[in-house]
Amino acid sequence: MADACEHPESKARLEWAERWLSPSRLSSYLDLCGGNVDRALELHEWNLMLGRALMGDIAHFELALRNAYDRALTERFEGNKHWLFDASSPVTRPIMRKSKAKKLRDVNMVNRRAIDDARGRAHDPANPNQVIAGLMLGFWAHMTDRSRERDLWIPYLHAAWPAGTDRAKLNLQLDAINKLRNRVAHSERLFNPGSDGCSPARVDAEMLALFRTLSPQAYECLYGNKSKTTVERFLDDRPSPIDVKL
């Protein structure tokens, strides 16, 4: 980093870049770019552009997922109110499971809080469509957790997917999509993924395949017969300024 600071212009650029991104965030890019501020900023911008490309796919998929789950629940739940608001709904009623520490916990408590928050933000909190639109991707992704298999997956959500869909495998894929979405939303580094399963190239390919399963007509309308994923096309159009893994 000392070489990058020898010239006054480089030193000034480093100072405003640290104020903008924070020293800790910028340092992770500087380390990969040999202390070169210009290359570090170029890599940071490239990472943001990759995130923007991914957010399009994530938005398409999230819409398909939440509407498929809403249909599956609406068509099968026999409560007196909409499944979001009925106390007997498998999404809101207490479901007690043992934690890793062998303590009982209500796995639906987080759902009730998410629904309450979404209702608080909605213009009409009694309108399920408005509440559904305000629920985050994580709300839908966690519906396939093992703790909800008996109460939610088997009676309801399996119907949104082809017969024989492996819930556990699907849950891992949805969890990875949600993690990637959160990394993009918080402008975190997307390349050189660690062991958390957030490889953007792999997750994007799996996400597009799931989107095609949920909504084949929408997939064909948006992606047609493209042979490459969004990440692959992004790399063709805008190669990384340094050698990174996706």
The answer to whether residue 244 scores a pLDDT higher than 60 is yes
The answer to whether residue 231 scores a pLDDT higher than 90 is yes
Give the Cα separation of 190 and 246 in Å (integer): 8
Contact between residue 135 and residue 112 where contact means Cβ atoms under 8 Å apart? no
pLDDT bin (cut points 50, 70, 90) of residue 3 is very low
- In the prediction, which pLDDT does 5 show? 45
pLDDT bin (cut points 50, 70, 90) of residue 100 is confident
Question: What pLDDT, in 10s, does the model give residues 42-82?
Answer: 999 999 999 999 999 999 999 999 999 999 999 999 999 99
CB atoms inside a 10 Å sphere around CB 27: 15
Question: What pLDDT, in 10s, does the model give residues 173-193?
Answer: 999 999 999 999 999 999 998
End-to-end CA distance of the chain: 26
Tokens of 2: 């000392």
